[in-house]
């Protein structure tokens, strides 16, 4: 699959799910719900949102001149008190309901409120403490930044973010305003995506640079801005990852800013210079599906720092996102039992919970190894525990 087209597919899937759950195709009375998988780390998880305004940068995508505004969601080790968080923002759920209505699927209702994260909303951040297997107390929590796929939303990999937070990381996911499907600001303004539907490769490379600036500014604000995380982070231990276009964003962020020590690309093509010059630090590519994108080949040829390329041949582009967990809430497995190819195209053929656990495990091992110095032989060879995941490339 050409990894620039996932926006259309993911949006179509969300619209389909919304319509099926709201028009009687799924039994309205049943109102199926989904608890995201339990986390594997020792810490309870909290989450909060931050409104960040970069007054030094004009927003290149805004229809009217103004500073670049971002919304970020942060997951972190927390005191387990308070209500469970919502999945993303209610504006996201309403957005997909509106899309379904607009294309003639009838009057449909939002449904993402039936997805229940593990995290507690606005729970108190734990003080940094000794991590399991860590011989000394960290001066602060290690930090990981996250970039979503083109046209999706920051919530799309909530299950991964929650698990990393439970292992002792602070994880900050940025909505790239006017690229994210919808972004709602604290004053009630709602901003929708306005990126072109058929971008050229130079346009994608340029979009990545805007996203990189978003991540760097978010890191600045978490480091020194007026947020609950100031003085609670270990800024020597910063990682970055992203899905789809967010994967190349992670690579280019490492090339632009050495504060990002380690990164990962979840099935995103490389559009910038990382494919030609490599990434100047530890970097892992996790691809999905049977093919090999030409930019993956170029990156492998030019990566000189520590690097790994794992592939999930039976996976699909959305395997690293929460989408693979949604059949449980949608009832689509039963609805599409007579159309297995349609189901496979949307959700793949692998079990969603196991696939989510796989990505959680490998990303945890990557960041543990390069931010905390822990051994992680899982990254050096094929695993009998995860036989569906294969190591294609290794350097360093």
388 — pLDDT class (breaks 50, 70, 90): very high
Q: What is the pLDDT of residues 161-209, one digit of tens each?
A: 999 999 999 999 999 999 999 999 999 999 999 999 889 999 999 999 9
Q: Give domain status of residue 267, yes or no.
A: yes
Nearest to 268 by CA among 291, 290, 293: 293
- Whole-number Å distance between alpha carbons of 246 and 150: 7
Q: CA angle, 361 as apex, 1 and 275 as ends, to 5°?
A: 40
- Whole-number Å distance between alpha carbons of 188 and 99: 20
In the predicted model, is pLDDT for residue 26 greater than 50? no
Q: Give domain status of residue 105, yes or no.
A: yes
Angle, in degrees to the nearest 10, between helices 201-224 and 245-256: 60
Q: Give domain status of residue 260, yes or no.
A: yes
**CATH code of the domain containing 62:** 3.40.50.1820
Cα–Cα separations (whole angstroms), residue 95 to 63, 145, 180: 20, 25, 11
Q: What is the pLDDT of residues 84-131, one digit of tens each?
A: 999 988 888 888 777 767 766 666 678 788 899 999 999 999 998 777
Q: Give domain status of residue 163, yes or no.
A: yes
Residue 201 neighbours by CB distance under 10 Å: 12
Q: Give domain status of residue 222, yes or no.
A: yes
Q: Give domain status of residue 1, yes or no.
A: no
Name the residue range of residue 225's domain. Answer: 6-395
How many structural domains comprise the chain?
1
Quick one: average pLDDT of 272-286?
A: 98
Q: What is the residue-averaged pLDDT of the chain? A: 89
H helix intervals, the chain? 6-22, 90-102, 158-166, 201-224, 245-256, 274-277, 294-302, 327-330, 332-335, 340-347, 352-372
């Amino acid at each position: 699959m050409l990894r620039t087209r996932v926006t259309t597919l993911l949006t179509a899937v969300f619209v389909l799910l919304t319509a099926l759950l709201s028009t009687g195709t799924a039994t309205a009375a049943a109102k199926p719900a989904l608890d995201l998988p339990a986390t594997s780390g020792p810490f309870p998880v909290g989450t909060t949102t931050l409104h960040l305004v970069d007054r030094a940068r004009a927003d290149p995508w805004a229809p009217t001149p103004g500073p670049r505004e971002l919304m970020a969601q942060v997951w972190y080790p927390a005191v387990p008190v308070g209500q469970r968080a919502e999945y993303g923002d209610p504006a996201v759920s309403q957005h997909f309901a509106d899309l379904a209505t607009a294309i003639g699927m009838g009057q449909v209702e939002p449904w993402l409120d039936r997805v229940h994260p593990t995290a507690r909303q606005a729970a108190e951040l734990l003080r940094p403490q000794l991590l399991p297997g860590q011989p000394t107390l960290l001066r602060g929590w290690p930090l990981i930044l996250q970039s979503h796929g083109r046209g999706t939303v920051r919530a799309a990999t909530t299950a991964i973010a929650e698990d990393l937070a439970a292992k002792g990381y602070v994880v900050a996911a940025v909505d790239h305003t006017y690229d994210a499907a919808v972004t709602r600001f604290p004053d009630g303004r709602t901003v929708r995506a306005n990126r072109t539907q058929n971008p050229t490769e130079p346009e994608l490379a340029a979009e990545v640079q805007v996203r990189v600036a978003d991540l760097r500014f978010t890191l600045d604000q978490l480091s020194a801005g007026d947020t609950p995380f100031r003085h609670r982070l270990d800024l020597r231990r910063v990682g970055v990852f992203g899905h789809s276009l967010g994967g190349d964003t992670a690579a280019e962020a490492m090339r632009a800013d050495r504060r990002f020590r380690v990164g990962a690309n979840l099935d995103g093509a490389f559009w910038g210079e990382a494919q030609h010059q490599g990434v100047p630090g530890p970097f892992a590519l996790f691809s999905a599906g049977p093919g090999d994108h030409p930019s993956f080949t170029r990156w492998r040829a030019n990566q000189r720092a520590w690097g790994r390329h794992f592939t999930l041949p039976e996976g699909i582009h959305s395997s690293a996102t929460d989408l693979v967990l949604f059949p449980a809430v949608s009832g689509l497995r039963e609805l599409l039992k007579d159309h297995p190819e349609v189901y496979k195209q949307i959700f793949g053929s692998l079990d969603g919970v196991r696939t989510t656990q796989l990505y959680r495990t490998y990303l945890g091992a990557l960041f543990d190894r390069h931010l905390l110095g822990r051994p992680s032989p899982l990254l050096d060879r094929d695993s009998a525990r995860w036989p569906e995941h294969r190591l294609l490339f290794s350097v360093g």
